[in-house]
A = this chain, B = another copy of it.
Amino acid sequence: MKKIINNPADFVDEMIEGILLAHPESLRSASADHRALVRTGAPFAGKVGIVTGGGSGHLPVFLGYVGEGLCTGVAVGNVFSSPSSEQILSATESAHGGAGVLYLYGNYGGDVFNFDLAADLAELADIETATVLVSDDVVSAPKERAADRRGVAGMVFAYKIAGAAAARGDSLSEVARLAEKTNQCMRSMGVGLSPTILPAAGEPTFTLGDDEMEIGIGIHGEPGVHRGSLETADRITQRLLHEILADLEPATGSRIALMVNGMGATPTEELYLMYRRARQILDEASITVHRPYIGEYATSLEMAGASITVLVLDEELTKLLDAPAYSPFFQQR
């Protein structure tokens, strides 16, 4: 296991310590164990709070999307593990500005159980909450069971849209509606070229031959839907985009946001090769990329691989997507 770490058991806490040391103007601790973080200055009176959370190992997801025009707070779990309901509750309390709190996170069993428990506790504390689960990974369940799909890089679009809505003062139900609409309007799919290694486990979650890739991979080290032989950038891009478009069925002439996301070890150069091919395919389908997002937005530690996310935009989503946002990990002007 080749990692720049100390004691694996301290990995997450030391990372958080580093982040709080680096970005005090943006983030502050909201619990004694520092596993709940909120924007410096939170809560914001009259504004809906957005709390997200999940396992560590996905930077910038999750805590990197706490910022202006983004989320208000986050609960940070161990690597690939849910935060506890107490940690989520701490983030909730510090994010609540009187207008309620949206729980916005990826659809994973552990997270769902803990967020639901936190919602029960928040209710006891008279904090209104709503929950929107992101379930954008197109191959993780068939279309009939679309709600069972897991959340991957599309979470970033949900944060962006919901965060902009909350920033302009939308109500909790309206922020939740827009987050849910974002989820309905997007799909993602990824491939993995190498496995990931949990610091505490020290072993790769799976092994891959020199010329193999995992197709339909998530971001928690779980294997993909099937294994195939390694393909060219063009073919991989076609494969991902084809599955996404077949499920999403965007109308000709659609405007979209397109994300080409690196899983961790894949060089940025390679992501631009994928973007190039994606643009060729989309141009042919008369689909316009309103805004590209190319880089590492949701990672899986040192996994090599990439995912594509397509979000179909309408007027209301475009406006929110285009709003400025700022966090130490994500800037849009």
- Please give the residue numbers on chain A whose beta carbons come within 8 Å of chain B beta carbons, in ascending order: 2-6, 11, 14-15, 17-19, 21-23, 56-57, 59-60, 191, 193-194, 210, 230, 232-234, 236, 264-276, 279, 292, 294, 296, 299, 301-302, 304, 306, 326, 329, 331, 333
Q: Please report the C-alpha to C-alpha distance between residue A274 and residue B5 in the assembled complex, in whole angstroms.
A: 8
Say which residue of B14, B294, B304 sits within 8 Å of A276 (CB atoms).
B14
User: Which of B23, B274, B326 touches A4 (beta carbons < 8 Å)?
Assistant: B274
Do A269 and B57 form a contact, CB below 8 Å, given A294-B22, A333-B333? yes
B272 and A22: CB pair below 8 A? Answer: yes
A236 to B2, CA, bound (A): 13
Contacts of A270 in B (CB 8 A): 3-5
Known: A21-B276, A21-B279. 14 other contacts (CB 8 A): A2-B210, A5-B270, A6-B233, A6-B234, A15-B272, A15-B276, A18-B272, A22-B275, A56-B269, A57-B269, A59-B267, A59-B268, A264-B265, A269-B301
Residues in B neighbouring A265, C-beta threshold 8 A: 264-265, 302, 304
Question: How close is A199's CB to chain B, nearest CB, in angstroms?
Answer: 9
Measured between beta carbons, the chain B residues less than 8 angstroms from A191 are 4
Measured in the bound complex, the distance between the Cα atoms of B21 and A294 in whole Å is 12
Known contacts A276-B17, A276-B21: does B302 contact A267 (CB below 8 Å)? yes
Distance A305 CA – B304 CA, assembled complex (angstroms): 15
Q: How far is it, in angstroms, between the C-alpha of A266 and the C-alpha of B2 when the chains are bound?
A: 9
| CA gap between A279 and B4 in the complex, in Å | 16
